[in-house]
Structure 1
């Protein structure tokens, strides 16, 4: 029997009415399990941002309850300070969140206000900037940064708080494809460290392969919540919320209907395995930060420590984003591939290897030291 998952955030019949009478949320009841990766999807104006601002106490509900760790949120000054130590929100527009002149000063602001020792503040700033790839920009004036760089600073400021819940509202909006994948990589790192990660997104393809729980919001109401496979199988809900079916899901359903496979794959590589036969895979070589030996095939990198290492050592990397998936594509084409991978992120690779194994294909894996 699987252990019962604890709940870190929950709303019960939550309703909120803005001044002027707009009903932004209507009897919303959602439960966020501890350590989960959650994607909220739905059209603009659905109420996702309003809901997020209830999770960390920026807004106070008109009716219903919001609970953190099974306790109703305390909206006193002391209660909100304590809540926001644990629950951080990265807003859609970084200019709404950043208010210091220099990058590292903004990242340090939160930890300083926790009255932490200066050594701990510095460590948190260093770690956060490293994760988002902004170490070299730490002394730059923020007004000199691009929109995408400002978003990285906003995420770093949230990470420096070491939150138990990281909420990111439309984090990929306005970012180039490489930074979109990098952001999901950061989300995996944070989640592996034990934090619950919540995002809102219009990128249903990536959300489908990334999230454990998907929640559909429309006109201030929750239409559905469940696993990605469950939610994106609800055609009536998708139509009502103006959402398309992720391509991976559609392919999987097509193959199941035609009797080709009843195996569920969450990534394009694993679903395409249903269409291919006689695959002789190459070998995946796992490299850790510190490895400078022979490289096999094309090389990917996944994780902030690995990224920092390859950059400092001038190691040429072909797959700087979406690296695990792209290495898998090479391997399933019969080629070898190598990937620099942070130890704590092994579970991300393991999940993809298990998907492939479900199709009867075992990928040889060798760790080089």
Structure 2
């Protein structure tokens, strides 16, 4: 579904965001991107969403090269939705309802279809009671839910989450986790940028390790995140379940090791 070939992107002041990135992402997959701040995760997501145009390389989406023209960028909303780490970046309308309706309106939907979509996703995220409130009146967790609803209302096939659990309390983390799982069950391709190796190991089909704008490794959680050298290279600890396995002298050849936690 997504093919990146030798993508390079540098910011105007010269900082390298992405350095020769090549990657393939299958339709319907769950992919976690791990790395320290400045590793290139957000830069990559901004390219995937059509916001940043790389200076070099090819971005192929559903077999067609994406050219980053104004027309193609407008059409991108049908394909790729981006939930930013900070919901205040996305929320700007006078009410929650208007904020969620903004995307469908820009897609050219008629009033009735917009109403149907907004109601659908307000209900899906259990925030129907917030529809008349101003976004600035909401808690951080509620803002995150509204931002997700706004992206989902455009019904993209691919959804990018940049640190979806950052600064959330336990209740909203649980809500966000359920939303993410439900999206994948619907057949959506879900990509998540995270600093949480435990979540990535348990959740992802594929893990991409990044450092300084480069991909260090891209493979299954077992093949990437049980490798202490690779994890140290990106400045992260092994997942707790992997650390436990090593202490017990078990092989990390399967994610079934998770069952150990339930036996304790």
Shorter-chain TM-score range:
over 0.9
Cα gap change, 1:172 to 1:188, in 2 (>3 Å):
same
Whether 2:12 is the aligned partner of 1:19: answer yes
Aligned mates of 1:108, 1:227 — CA distance in 2? 37
| Partner residue, 1:62 | 55
Superposition deviation, residue 238 in structure 1: 0.6
Aligned mates of 1:49, 1:103 — CA distance in 2? 26
Written as runs of structure 1 = structure 2, the 5 A alignment for 1:186-335 is: 186-255=179-248, 257=249, 264-265=255-256, 267=258, 270-272=259-261
Whether 2:154 is the aligned partner of 1:161: answer yes
Cα gap change, 1:106 to 1:205, in 2 (>3 Å):
same
CA contact (8 A) 2:31 2:207 kept: yes
Written as runs of structure 1 = structure 2, the 5 A alignment for 1:85-164 is: 85-164=78-157
Cα gap change, 1:263 to 1:147, in 2 (>3 Å):
closer
Q: Look up the SS of the partner of 2:92 in the other structure.
A: coil
Deviation track 1:309-336 (CA, whole Å, cap 9, x = no partner) reads: xxxxxxxxxxxxxxxxxxxxxxxxxxxx
Superposition deviation, residue 258 in structure 1: 5.2
Q: Look up the SS of the partner of 2:178 in the other structure.
A: helix
Aligned mates of 1:250, 1:182 — CA distance in 2? 28
From 145, 152, 164, give the equivalent of 1:171.
Answer: 164
CA contact (8 A) 2:80 2:157 kept: yes
Aligned mates of 2:39, 2:175 — CA distance in 1? 26
From 16, 28, 38, give the equivalent of 2:21.
Answer: 28
Cα gap change, 1:53 to 1:162, in 2 (>3 Å):
same
Cα gap change, 1:258 to 1:220, in 2 (>3 Å):
closer
Higher relative contact order (CA 8 A, sep 6+): 2
Aligned mates of 1:212, 1:192 — CA distance in 2? 13
CA contact (8 A) 1:37 1:198 kept: yes
* Aligned-residue CA RMSD (Å): 1.8
Q: Any gaps of 5 or more consecutive residues in structure 1?
A: 1-7, 277-369
Q: Any gaps of 5 or more consecutive residues in structure 2?
A: none
Cα gap change, 1:65 to 1:262, in 2 (>3 Å):
closer
CA contact (8 A) 1:208 1:266 kept: no
Whether 2:170 is the aligned partner of 1:181: answer no
Aligned mates of 1:85, 1:264 — CA distance in 2? 34
TM-score w.r.t. length of structure 2 = 0.94
Cα gap change, 1:17 to 1:112, in 2 (>3 Å):
same
Superposition deviation, residue 117 in structure 1: 3.0
Aligned mates of 2:19, 2:64 — CA distance in 1? 21
Q: Look up the SS of the partner of 1:265 in the other structure.
A: helix
Q: Look up the SS of the partner of 2:82 in the other structure.
A: strand
Aligned mates of 2:21, 2:69 — CA distance in 1? 23
Superposition deviation, residue 262 in structure 1: 6.7
CA contact (8 A) 1:56 1:83 kept: yes
